[in-house]
Amino acid sequence: MLRFSANLSILFTELPFAERFAAAKAAGFDAVECWFPYEHATAAQVGGLLRDNGLQMVGINTPWGADGQWGLAALPGSEAAFEDSLRRTLDYAQAIGRPAVHVMAGLAGHVPAHEARRAYLANLRKAVRLAEGSGVTLLIEPLNGRDRPGYFLRSVEQAAQVIESQGLDSLRIMFDCYHTQIEEGDVITRLRRHFGKLGHIQIAGVPARGEPDRGELNYTEILRELRQLGWSGHIGAEYKPSGASAQSLAWLHALRQDGIAA
């Protein structure tokens, strides 16, 4: 059966951060993920919340940088800040059970494309070296240009090309079905084509990023395909609930009743 994780940066936000863990557990999740947990609590505090609630943290992000840069990896001149932020994120990840770390690329629309790419590849190679032997998987995630104009990594195809670059084959793609549908479409074909490069999957309805049983994407077919492909990781529920988070989970209850979700 498929397993789902609750993204605590977008679900259960009607509660204080520390109370979201228990809410996720009460809703039947066995795992959570969070964009920037270090902005809310120390690693020791998060580790305690995970243990107390019997949860696994499956993913966190590197810092988004100053002034809403959404990462630093593709920003020339930010190499030192990038390395420092990555080291701190890796230390944090080690202390809370080694979740995957999404290495954020940053808003590089003001940078010549060849310079942004050069900085991105160099910083990713440094990240791979720093993470080697840590047990932490590094992820890169394409973000659609409508929601995040100027973000350097825009497509799954681009992410796959990055991973095929020399020295970067240990990276994995965070495949967000919402971003992929908006930017490229053809979600199932892309899942099949790049399945061996995937490290995490996330879902939300399109175009409003609401519950996954709303909008233009047919998640019944997408989830069926993931089962056939043999996906064994978690699938992140990263959507904006239309009301109280606990009341927005009818889609998950239906999957459990059908024996699709754990």
125 alpha carbon, distance to own chain's centre: 20
Q: Is 188 helix (H, G, I), strand (E, B) or coil?
A: helix
Q: Which residues pair with 9 in a beta bridge?
A: none
What is the C-alpha to C-alpha distance for residues 110 and 35, in angstroms, rounded to an integer? 25
7: tokens are 């993204």
How many Cβ atoms from other residues are within 10 Å of residue 191's Cβ?
20
What is the C-alpha to C-alpha distance for residues 46 and 98, in angstroms, rounded to an integer? 12
Whether 141 sits among the annotated catalytic residues: the reply is yes
253: tokens are 């209850």
What is the C-alpha to C-alpha distance for residues 132 and 138, in angstroms, rounded to an integer? 10
Q: Are 106 and 72 in contact (CB under 8 A)?
A: yes
Q: Is 175 helix (H, G, I), strand (E, B) or coil?
A: strand
Whether 238 sits among the annotated catalytic residues: the reply is yes
52: tokens are 């107390």
Q: One of 33, 183, 211, 238 is an active-site residue; which one? A: 238
Q: One of 33, 141, 183, 211 is an active-site residue; which one? A: 141
197: Cα within 13 Å, side-chain hemisphere: 22
What residues are annotated to the active site? 141, 238
